Amino acid sequence: MKFSIIATALAVFLVFSAPASAHTTIVASNIEDGVSFEAAPEVFEFSFGADVGLAEVELETLAGNAVDVAFERRRQMGKDFSVPLPTLEPGTYVLKWRAVAKDGHVMRGEIDFTVTG
């Protein structure tokens, strides 16, 4: 009897906590990981599957040198974001982002891309 009460309580907890622990990631972007561009993109446009607070967007060369990006952190949460990019010389770049979900969970990602022309 005691076991069935504990098992039932655990099952209820797992069922109702699963949606809260699900986190989002980028679901659409104009820059895909590993893609090559003849002409450098002028903006990084991307969308998440749920509202997040975009905390950081950084751009580096493959050698690890920082490239200035005009990113301003905003207080409001959203799904769709657009970050202007500077004029990029031919080379390989690493675009890094960090976002915070409503529950405080921090998500990170990187997108590597190459400019050829």
Quick: pLDDT tens for 42-86. Answer: 999 999 999 999 999 999 999 999 999 999 888 889 999 999 999
Look up the pTM and report it. Answer: 0.78
Contact by Cβ (8 Å): 25, 105: no
Q: Which CATH class is domain 23-115?
A: mainly beta
Dihedral of alpha carbons 49, 51, 55, 57, sign: positive
* pLDDT tens figures, 8-33: 443 433 334 334 445 788 999 999 99
